[in-house]
Structure 1
Amino acid sequence: MRRINQQENQKQKTSLIPKVISIGFFGGLIWSAIAAISGYFNFTTITPKSFILRSWIQTDWSDQWLGQIISILIISLLSIGIAFLYYVLLKKYDGVLPGLLAGIVLWFILFWIMEPIFPNIPDFYRLESDTIVTTICLFILYSVFISYSISFAYLQHLHEK
């Protein structure tokens, strides 16, 4: 009986922080890998290495597969911060719409507002239409993955209590 009470207390004390960390990491890992594959098949000219490494490091290795893998891992770590931001601001909203809107906002921030700090990324009006459509879709899918997963984990956590 005492062991059951300890397990129930343990369940009540668990937080969503480990889930948010894993959702953010794997969301970044999965969707930046898909972005790299999209670049390989020429759906987009902008890949993870375009943002992370090639904007500041112009060496041979950063333009090859090693640069792509390192960039994917860095994006996965940065994605944890985005997942926490979503958890703090939008965890109570479920459905696809919050993720869709968050993806568009995230794309807008990276491609319009933060564009000057990425010298390797062309200006918006110089991007090909395939690149624009592909990157917007990838950002939306990434954000919907993060938002839906965090909202589901949050609602599940509420039902456990």
Structure 2
Amino acid sequence: MMSDKKKLDQNQQEKPMSLQAMSLLTGLIGGLVWSGIGYIFYYFNLTKLSPKIILEPIAVGAWKDGWLGVVIALTLYGILGMGLGFFYYAALKRFRSIYVAVGFGVALYAVVFVVLHPLFPSMPSILKLDLNTMLTSLCLYILFGTFVGFSISYEQSEIEDHKSPSKADLQES
């Protein structure tokens, strides 16, 4: 009896994650990883903008300058990444080009450094940023956009490829 149950369990395939859930997870991981790398870049003075800048409009107190500020900032980037991953899923998932994902990262950079600039009083305007900070930040946004965008587009194309009948199936009919 026990061996029959084992055989049945072995034959069952794991249900694949939905593309929406995968998009949220990809955004979370992208937000955590790339903001973590951004913090490392800040630590080694490759950029003058700390990832903790996200706490500026919402937090008061000295705690945000310590390790707790880093943890909460990285968590917020993960949550924002989830939202951005879902946005990419909703708006851009059908585009298979890596250039769309890179453009997504560049657009995010423009939104943060131009449109949302007034929310961050300690952040200099884009024209006053030093070259290292500007290029490092741009590269991080491009890498985030590419990671999230291309991952979601790739999964979308895989789903479409498995749903569409193959040429061999069409020739047999």
Instruction: Indicate the TM-score class for this superposition, using the shorter chain for normalisation.
Output: 0.7 to 0.9
Q: Bigger CA drift: 27-36 or 53-62?
A: 53-62
Tell me by how many angstroms 1:78 deviates: 1.1
Q: Which amino acid aligns with 1:54?
A: E
Contact 1:27 1:76 in 2 (8 A): yes
Show the counterpart of 1:73: 75
Instruction: State the superposition RMSD in angstroms.
Output: 1.9
Contact 1:20 1:84 in 2 (8 A): yes
Q: Which amino acid aligns with 1:17?
A: Q
Show the counterpart of 1:143: 145
Q: Normalised by the size of structure 2, how large is the TM-score?
A: 0.81
1:34-58 CA-partner distances (Å, limit 9, x unpaired): 00111000001112201x2134434
Q: Bigger CA drift: 118-127 or 140-149?
A: 118-127
Show the counterpart of 1:36: 39
Gaps of at least 5 residues in structure 1 are none
Q: Normalised by the size of structure 1, how large is the TM-score?
A: 0.86
Q: In structure 2, what is the Cα distance between the partners aligned to 1:80 and 1:138?
A: 17
Show the counterpart of 2:106: 104
Q: In structure 2, what is the Cα distance between the partners aligned to 1:57 and 1:23?
A: 27
Matched-pair identity in %:
34
Q: Which amino acid aligns with 2:47?
A: T
Q: Which amino acid aligns with 1:127?
A: L
Aligned length: 152
Contact 1:55 1:120 in 2 (8 A): no
Q: In structure 1, what is the Cα distance between the partners aligned to 2:110 and 2:119?
A: 14
Show the counterpart of 2:156: 154
Show the counterpart of 1:129: 131
Structure number, greater radius of gyration: 2
Query: Does 1:48 pair with 2:37?
Result: no
Q: In structure 2, what is the Cα distance between the partners aligned to 1:41 and 1:156?
A: 39
Q: In structure 2, what is the Cα distance between the partners aligned to 1:65 and 1:141?
A: 25
Q: Bigger CA drift: 140-149 or 112-121?
A: 112-121
Gaps of at least 5 residues in structure 2 are 1-7, 164-173
Q: 2:26 aligns with which of 23, 27, 31?
A: 23
